[in-house]
């Protein structure tokens, strides 16, 4: 299958990055959100990112404008009927995702692939909301999408081999390194990362060390580019809590119990960088 036209749904940080990367690979990108104002904001962010690349000599002005011309904002989800692949990048909410996939299933021709950028929710459950579970797959991009090379490619229970092969090859053409992962809570990345972040929060909660000390130990002792608490702020503490709850619910194992301090910060609105305060102040 040849993927030439992609619909990206969601104008947040992940959707913006996916739209940019797809356009960089010379794909036509339709970009949809419930609010065109959010897409305008996303387009501005992409333009600023590309202008920095031009200033550094990594991209020509002509290439920048050509890339931007391949991203077409749309407020009409019915245009999903015109694409080869849909990549959903909305909030991590199962009810919202399954409702969207049911809608896409009604609009899209039977051969269109429906992909989700979920970081932890079951692909099989999302696929079950459609009449085409063999055409549903997970494409978990890493944040920030234009920089991070990895994509976890997650098969649902019914995902066909041709769909998997098509998405795996497309990921390479997007300049990424795809890795096959099976459909279990958190996949690989978040099943390993989030418990580490959660345990780092427990060390602060229990008074083992300060926030700065925990991050320094992991950066200087383990050669991590960011400390786990700094990384949690970057990801968003609400997102970290949501993923830990999915792991806890999915495995029914106490080792995935979210730290009470994480819950307290989220309830207080201390969500990290996006709110101006988390474990650090921004």
Mean pLDDT in residue range 196-200: 98
State yes or no: pLDDT of 133 exceeds 90.
yes
Is the pTM higher than 0.85?
yes
Catalytic residue among 88, 117, 120, 152: 152
- pLDDT at residue 39, rounded to an integer: 94
Instruction: Kindly state whether residue 281 falls inside one of the protein's structural domains.
Output: no
Do 241 and 262 form a contact (C-beta atoms < 8 A)?
Answer: yes
pLDDT band at 173 (very low <50, low <70, confident <90, very high): very high
Which of 147, 182, 217 is the C-terminal boundary of a domain? 182
For the annotated binding site, the residues are: 10-15, 33, 92, 97, 119, 143, 274
Which one-letter DSSP state was computed for residue 220? I
Task: Quote the domain boundaries for residue 256.
Answer: 190-273
Mean pLDDT in residue range 170-195: 97
Q: Are residues 33 and 75 in the same domain?
A: yes
Q: Are residues 160 and 85 in the same domain?
A: yes
Catalytic residue among 24, 117, 119, 198: 119
Tokens of 162: 């041709």
Which one-letter DSSP state was computed for residue 54? H
- Please indicate whether residue 224 is annotated as part of the active site: no
Q: Are residues 207 and 160 in the same domain?
A: no
Mean pLDDT in residue range 111-136: 97
Catalytic residue among 140, 171, 230, 242: 140
- pLDDT at residue 53, rounded to an integer: 95
Query: Could you give the residue ranges of the DSSP H alpha helices within the chain?
Result: 13-24, 36-55, 61-69, 94-107, 123-127, 161-173, 189-205, 211-216, 222, 228-235, 237-251, 260-267
- Please indicate whether residue 51 is annotated as part of the active site: no
Which residues neighbour 16 within 8 Å (Cβ) at sequence distance 6 or greater?
42, 45, 46, 145
Do 114 and 86 form a contact (C-beta atoms < 8 A)?
Answer: yes
Instruction: Kindly state whether residue 46 falls inside one of the protein's structural domains.
Output: yes
- pLDDT at residue 145, rounded to an integer: 96
State yes or no: pLDDT of 160 exceeds 80.
yes
What CATH number is attached to the domain comprising 152? 3.40.50.720
CA distance 231 to 142: 13
Q: Are residues 221 and 89 in the same domain?
A: no
Instruction: Kindly state whether residue 280 falls inside one of the protein's structural domains.
Output: no
Query: Directed axis angle between helix 228-235 and helix 189-205, to 10°?
Result: 110
Instruction: Kindly state whether residue 63 falls inside one of the protein's structural domains.
Output: yes
State yes or no: pLDDT of 272 exceeds 80.
yes
CA distance 206 to 227: 18
pLDDT band at 1 (very low <50, low <70, confident <90, very high): confident
Q: What integer best gives the mean pLDDT of the chain?
A: 97
Q: Are residues 166 and 120 in the same domain?
A: yes
- Please indicate whether residue 152 is annotated as part of the active site: yes
Mean pLDDT in residue range 182-187: 96
- pLDDT at residue 279, rounded to an integer: 98
- pLDDT at residue 16, rounded to an integer: 96
DSSP string for residues in 226-266: S-HHHHHHHH-HHHHHHHHHHHHHHH--GGGPPPHHHHHHH
What CATH number is attached to the domain comprising 210? 1.10.1040.10
Instruction: Kindly state whether residue 222 falls inside one of the protein's structural domains.
Output: yes
- pLDDT at residue 172, rounded to an integer: 98
Tokens of 245: 């709850």
- pLDDT at residue 58, rounded to an integer: 93
Mean pLDDT in residue range 19-48: 95
Q: Are residues 161 and 239 in the same domain?
A: no
Catalytic residue among 24, 171, 190, 198: 190
For the annotated binding site for NAD(+), the residues are: 10-15, 33, 92, 97, 119, 143, 274
State yes or no: pLDDT of 175 exceeds 90.
yes
- Please indicate whether residue 119 is annotated as part of the active site: yes
- pLDDT at residue 64, rounded to an integer: 96
Mean pLDDT in residue range 39-62: 95
Which of 182, 208, 226 is the C-terminal boundary of a domain? 182
State yes or no: pLDDT of 242 exceeds 90.
yes
Domain count, the chain: 2
């Amino acid at each position: 299958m040849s993927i030439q036209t992609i619909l990206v749904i969601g104008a947040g940080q992940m959707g913006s990055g996916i739209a940019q990367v797809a356009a960089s690979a010379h794909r036509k990108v339709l970009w949809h959100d419930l609010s065109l104002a959010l897409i305008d904001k996303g387009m501005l962010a992409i333009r600023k990112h590309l202008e920095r690349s031009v200033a550094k000599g990594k991209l020509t002005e002509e290439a920048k404008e050509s890339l931007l011309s391949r991203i077409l904002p749309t407020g009409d989800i019915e245009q999903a009927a015109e694409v080869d692949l849909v990549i959903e990048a909305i909030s991590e909410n199962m009810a919202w995702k399954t409702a969207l996939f049911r809608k896409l299933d009604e609009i899209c021709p039977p051969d269109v692939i429906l992909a989700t950028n979920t970081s932890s929710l079951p692909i099989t459950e999302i696929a079950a909301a459609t009449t085409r579970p063999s055409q549903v797959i997970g494409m978990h991009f890493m944040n920030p999408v234009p920089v991070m090379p990895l994509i976890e490619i997650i098969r649902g229970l019914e995902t066909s081999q041709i769909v998997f092969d098509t998405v795996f090859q497309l990921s390479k053409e997007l300049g990424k390194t795809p890795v096959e992962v099976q459909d279990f809570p958190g996949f690989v990345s978040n099943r390993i990362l989030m418990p580490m972040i959660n345990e780092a929060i427990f060390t602060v909660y229990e008074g083992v060390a300060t926030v700065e000390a925990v991050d320094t130990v992991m950066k200087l002792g383990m050669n991590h580019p960011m400390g786990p608490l700094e990384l949690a702020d970057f990801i968003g503490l609400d997102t970290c809590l949501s993923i830990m709850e999915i792991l806890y619910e999915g495995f029914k194992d106490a080792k995935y119990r979210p730290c009470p301090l994480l819950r307290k910060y989220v309830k207080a609105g201390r969500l990290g960088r996006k709110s101006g305060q988390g474990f650090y102040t921004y």
